[in-house]
Amino acid sequence: MSLPPFDDVVAEHGRTVLRVCWAVVGPVDAEDAWSETFLSALAAYPRLVAGSNVRAWLVTIAYRKAMDKLRSNQRAPIPIGMTLDRPFSDRELPDAELWAAVSALAPKQRGAVVAHYVGGLRYAEVAELLGTSETAARRSAADGIAALRKVISGEDSM
């Protein structure tokens, strides 16, 4: 078994990585975080063991890059709602309200929700990424989903 061309990796996981970046750092810095994620992954790629879980690898890098951006971001947080008016490329950021609600979660809940639901990491991987136990990661994700449901169900007639 050998490593596929990196281009295939970008094609397959570019979307997931972008959503993780959106969820953590918002639309403005997400593109830089996406680029830094894939550039750093490309540098390390030839040393990746063939057959590794590439998505988990990328999501872990993306989460850390996006968190770095979030921490070093000196600008004031973008108030909820304003993201709707921000041009995102040539179109609005899809699901802007969802991302606004995610960004308003408590940090542990946000991390668990993003890593597990947006990034598709298993809870053991989420726990490792967040430096917590699997049980705690599971609980944070459940609490986060409950909180999101509360915010969103008000406007969403499912």
Partner 1 sequence: MTGYGTVEEMLVGEDGEAVMGPLPRLRARLSAAAAGEGLLDVAYCTIDTPIGSLLLAATPDGLVRIALPNEDQERVLAELAVRISPRILNAPSRFDQAAREIGEYLSRSRRSFDLAIDLRLASGFRRSVLRQLLEIEYGATASYAQVAAASGNPRAVRAVGSACATNPLPLVVPCHRVLRSDGTLGGYAGGLQLKRRLLELEGQSEAGQ
Interface residues with partner 1 (CB under 8 A)?
2-8, 10, 14-15, 18-19, 23, 31, 34-35, 38-39, 42-43, 45-46, 88-91, 94-95, 97-98, 102, 113, 117-118, 120, 145, 148-149, 152, 155-158
Residue reference for tokens 């996006």:
66
What is the rounded distance in angstroms from the CA atom of residue 82 to the CA atom of residue 100? 9
Instruction: Report, in Å, the least distance between residue 15 CB and partner 1.
Output: 6
| C-beta closer to partner 1: residue 80 or 145 | 145
Instruction: Report, in Å, the least distance between residue 33 CB and partner 1.
Output: 11
Instruction: Report, in Å, the least distance between residue 106 CB and partner 1.
Output: 16
| C-beta closer to partner 1: residue 45 or 64 | 45
Cα dihedral sign for 77, 83, 86, 92? positive
| C-beta closer to partner 1: residue 85 or 155 | 155
| C-beta closer to partner 1: residue 74 or 90 | 90
- Structure tokens of 128? 């490792």
Instruction: Report, in Å, the least distance between residue 135 CB and partner 1.
Output: 20
What is the rounded distance in angstroms from the CA atom of residue 10 to the CA atom of residue 8? 5
Instruction: Report, in Å, the least distance between residue 51 CB and partner 1.
Output: 13
Q: Which residues contact 86 (CB under 8 A, 6 or more apart)?
A: 27, 28, 78, 92, 93
* Residues 83-118 as b or e (16 or more Cβ within 10 Å = b): beeeebeeeebeebbbbbbbbebeebbbbbbbbbbb
| C-beta closer to partner 1: residue 5 or 76 | 5
What is the rounded distance in angstroms from the CA atom of residue 5 to the CA atom of residue 110? 33
